[in-house]
Chains A and B, each alone.
Chain A
Amino acid sequence: MEIKSVEKNGIIILDIEGEIDLYNAPRLKEVIKKNVETQKYNIIINLAKVSYIDSSGIGALISSLSNLKKYQGGLKLVKVMGSVKKVFELTKLTSFFEIFEEEEIAIKSFI
């Protein structure tokens, strides 16, 4: 799993490539935690290049979202596709996360 971080209008956009699973989910959580420490509470995660996510990966996203909410921030997901989308749909988490088709729309929803 590779994480690229970009900042646009004070919003952090994380581009993830690869698989999010038991072994690297803690790293994703750590990256988000670092942002919280530097007072960046609005985060968008682009999942376009994520081919697989397991329950630990979802767990990391859930706990990060509630952590960010504590600071009135948010975690929004962009381009949830393929098998990743299926996981979200199966567990009905599509209603728990705000999911957007395009990065731009997600950014606007923060402003």
Chain B
Amino acid sequence: MSFIIPFIRLFFPVYGLVVLSFEEGRRHHKHNQFIIILFALLIAKEVIHKLMLDAFGVKIYFTNFIILYYLINFIPVIYINYLLILFISKAQKPPVMFFIYTLLILLSMVFFLITGQPFTFLIQIISRFLMILLMVYIMFRLNTLYLEDEMNIIIKNRLSINTILTILSIQYVFFFVTDNFVKNLIEIVLYGLLAIIIYTRVDEGYDELKNNIQHLGYEKEIFINLLQKVGSGLTSETNFDKILELILNYSVDVIKSKAAALLLVSPDKQYLSAKFVHGLYPPTEKVEGYAATKEKFLVEKFKNEKIAIGRTYLGEVAQKGEAILIEDAHENTNILQTAPDLMDIHSLIVVPLKFKDEVIGVVSFLNKDAGGEFNKYELQLSQTLAEQAAITLNNFRLYNELLVKQRDEREIEIAGDIQKDLLPKQLPQIPGVDLFAYNKSAKGVGGDYYDLLNFDNKRLSVIISDVAGKGVPASLVMVMLRTTLHNILRPHLPPKDILTYLNKFLSTESTQERYATLFYILLDVEKQTITYTNAGQCPLLLYKSQDNTFDLLDTPGLPLGIMRDQKYEQAERGMQKGDIILLYTDGITEAMNTKREQFSIERVKDIIRTNKEKSAQDIVSIIQSKMDEFCTGAPQHDDQTLILLRLV
């Protein structure tokens, strides 16, 4: 029997090691690499333990190798606890008792080194007691986390983790009555299990998601601030330059860089030149002599530079249209230190300002204010800001044009342009689904938004939304909605959580008037199901091929951005080949003819029933032409959006 025991003891560490080492995508993760080392340590410990016992016998082994024994025994335990606390609870730092516990373990080792005696029973009791407190703390955080967020996305295995922690705690209570060997065995098995649960069964991409969420919280503030600033800027300052300056200053506040510059592409698209500069931004060409020692001259030189597109790091970004993050500029030959005495370029981010695919300028941030290197989150943030800034600038330009040419026939075209920037440029292709979307803006800068995201060709997210109000503020809400969605959408997240989350984002006083209705469906092509949730948008129209009838699918809940603690619900529905899903905004059903009659859902149903065998594109264009025919002579007074999906 005795030869089996090492196998049992080694099972979980080995299993964990194998799973983490060989599963693609997990191996490269920083924390998982640690865990792999820890598992290897646990295994090594067992092997050493066995070899030592065989070679020296119990007594000599424990007196001579106890430090080694403790190190390999406790480091993994401490580390797994540390990760648990940080990952599961939302705490930034472990609680004090964790440090006291770690300190006690170290103390006991020092104590042993000095006195040659193992640590006292009292210290053992205290450290075990702290361990139990720690477990309880983790469980408590785990539970409150759920209550706070209602986001089911963090960990699905809360129950199993809680169970293991409870067993561990109980086990600690009885440590002095149980046999050392049994205790060790339980401990290793349970920790192995815990680590495996955390690292293999926790929702995929948890880390990334958590960072994104933390980050988005921050980005949200930025959106709202920019919204307010640009909003107030628009009423008092109708000046393009002012808006640019405002954006740069605001970006510097957010990114916290020592220097920054906003450069625009010249009208002939040949070179870049600085429009606004913040701090000491050194020129891209070497400066000699007296000028090199004066801040004023350096900045002046930079402002006067005409940087050819494609030349220097700035010109390259303008040419390629892709952002760069340089953590250490000293190791990069592209970055010329032109004024090393006054401004040593250490770390930098350069992001392009793009309208659609055209680069209109770049924004560059030099050196972190607090020292150190820029990281990928700051890069992501800069990109978000640049995207936001470019859309704002574009909207502003178009809006101004709109104001000037209010009765001009280009009006519809201009309004459409703004929205089209945000709408998908092409529809996703996904096997088994035939889909088509249609969108037409009413006069004015409109409020409909839709999006389709294909995950792994098996699952498809479909979003249709109508932002209240019009004009630039409404389109900024749309930008915010879109960016947030693109950041948090994952196919395994329950749709209702996505809505709950979006709602929290949009629920601030400054945007309350600009609420948005939104319908979200997640289509699983393999399982042939849809999971759907609605925030005040028109219900989904489902055509069932089996009995040639229609269902209107809906869930309760106010539009997004009205009540912060609104809870959304979701429902699931099976589908069959030939079934048709139609999402639409009220601009479709409420389209009016000259007699002020509405087009209505009944007309849409009739069209679908007669044309159910046709392609999605055909059905959509039939609806479109029937609607146009119906409305002849009457003005379109709301945006119209249609998304039609057929299972084929």
The residue on A at minimum CB distance from B557 is A92
A95 lies within 8 A of chain B by Cβ: yes
A83 to B597, CA, bound (A): 11
Give which listed residue, A56, A91, A95, contacts B469 with CB less than 8 A: A56
B346 lies within 8 A of chain A by Cβ: no
Distance in Å: Cβ of B464 to nearest Cβ of chain A: 14
**Hey, which chain A residues are within 8 Å of B556, CB to CB?**
92
Chain A 84-111 interface residues, beta-carbon cutoff 8 Å to B: 87, 90-93, 95-96
* Interface size of B in residues (CB-CB distance below 8 Å): 24
Distance in Å: Cβ of A51 to nearest Cβ of chain B: 9
Q: Are A59 and B513 in contact (CB under 8 A)?
A: yes
B447 lies within 8 A of chain A by Cβ: yes
Instruction: Find the residue from A22, A58, A62 having the highest chain B CB count within 10 A.
Output: A62
A60 lies within 8 A of chain B by Cβ: yes
**Hey, which chain B residues are within 8 Å of A62, CB to CB?**
512-513, 515, 562
B245 lies within 8 A of chain A by Cβ: no
Counting residue pairs across A and B whose Cβ atoms lie within 8 Å, the total is 53
A39 lies within 8 A of chain B by Cβ: no
B559 lies within 8 A of chain A by Cβ: yes
Contact code string B533-545 (vs A, CB < 8 Å = 1, else 0)? 0001010000000
Q: Are B470 and A96 in contact (CB under 8 A)?
A: no
B288 lies within 8 A of chain A by Cβ: no
Give which listed residue, B513, B536, B562, B563, contacts A90 with CB less than 8 A: B536
The residue on A at minimum CB distance from B510 is A63
Q: Are B444 and A22 in contact (CB under 8 A)?
A: yes
Q: Are B536 and A92 in contact (CB under 8 A)?
A: yes
B522 lies within 8 A of chain A by Cβ: no
Chain B 490-540 interface residues, beta-carbon cutoff 8 Å to A: 509, 512-515, 517, 536, 538
A58 to B514, CA, bound (A): 10
Contact code string A27-62 (vs B, CB < 8 Å = 1, else 0)? 000000000000000000000000000111011101
A66 lies within 8 A of chain B by Cβ: yes
Q: Are B558 and A95 in contact (CB under 8 A)?
A: yes
A22 to B447, CA, bound (A): 12
**Hey, which chain A residues are within 8 Å of B563, CB to CB?**
96
Q: Are B562 and A96 in contact (CB under 8 A)?
A: yes
A92 to B514, CA, bound (A): 16
Q: Are A59 and B536 in contact (CB under 8 A)?
A: no
Give which listed residue, A22, A59, A95, contacts B515 with CB less than 8 A: A59
A90 to B535, CA, bound (A): 10
**Hey, which chain A residues are within 8 Å of B638, CB to CB?**
54
Distance in Å: Cβ of B563 to nearest Cβ of chain A: 7
Q: Are A66 and B512 in contact (CB under 8 A)?
A: yes
The residue on A at minimum CB distance from B469 is A56
Give which listed residue, A22, A91, A95, contacts B470 with CB less than 8 A: A22
B219 lies within 8 A of chain A by Cβ: no
Q: Are B444 and A63 in contact (CB under 8 A)?
A: no
A55 to B638, CA, bound (A): 10
Give which listed residue, B513, B538, B590, contacts A63 with CB less than 8 A: B513
A92 to B518, CA, bound (A): 12
Distance in Å: Cβ of A84 to nearest Cβ of chain B: 12
**Hey, which chain B residues are within 8 Å of A87, CB to CB?**
586
Distance in Å: Cβ of A64 to nearest Cβ of chain B: 9
Q: Are B513 and A60 in contact (CB under 8 A)?
A: yes
Say whether, besides A62-B513, A66-B512, A93 and B536 are in contact (CB < 8 Å). Answer: yes
B580 lies within 8 A of chain A by Cβ: no
Q: Are B469 and A22 in contact (CB under 8 A)?
A: yes
Contact code string B437-476 (vs A, CB < 8 Å = 1, else 0)? 0000000100100000000000000000011111000000
**Hey, which chain A residues are within 8 Å of B590, CB to CB?**
83
The residue on B at minimum CB distance from A61 is B513
The residue on B at minimum CB distance from A56 is B469
Contact code string B74-87 (vs A, CB < 8 Å = 1, else 0)? 00000000000000
Give which listed residue, A63, A83, A96, contacts B558 with CB less than 8 A: A96
A72 to B308, CA, bound (A): 62
Distance in Å: Cβ of A91 to nearest Cβ of chain B: 4
A55 to B512, CA, bound (A): 12
Distance in Å: Cβ of A71 to nearest Cβ of chain B: 15
The residue on B at minimum CB distance from A55 is B468
Contact code string B557-601 (vs A, CB < 8 Å = 1, else 0)? 111001100000000000000000000001000100000000000
Q: Are B469 and A55 in contact (CB under 8 A)?
A: yes
A91 to B515, CA, bound (A): 11
**Hey, which chain B residues are within 8 Å of A22, CB to CB?**
444, 469-470
Identify the 3 closest CB pairs spanning chains A and B, nearest first.
A55-B468, A59-B513, A91-B536
If A90-B538, A92-B559, A93-B562 are given as contacts, then 15 extra A-B residue pairs at C-beta distance below 8 Å, sorted by A number, are A54-B638, A55-B468, A56-B468, A56-B513, A58-B468, A58-B515, A59-B512, A59-B513, A62-B562, A63-B512, A87-B586, A91-B536, A91-B558, A96-B562, A96-B563
A interface residues (Cβ-Cβ under 8 A, vs B): 22, 54-56, 58-60, 62-63, 66, 83, 87, 90-93, 95-96
**Interface CB pairs A-B, < 8 A, 29:** A22-B469, A54-B638, A55-B447, A55-B467, A55-B469, A55-B515, A56-B469, A58-B468, A58-B515, A59-B468, A59-B512, A60-B513, A62-B513, A62-B562, A66-B509, A66-B512, A90-B538, A90-B586, A91-B517, A91-B536, A91-B558, A92-B557, A92-B558, A92-B559, A93-B536, A93-B558, A93-B559, A96-B558, A96-B562
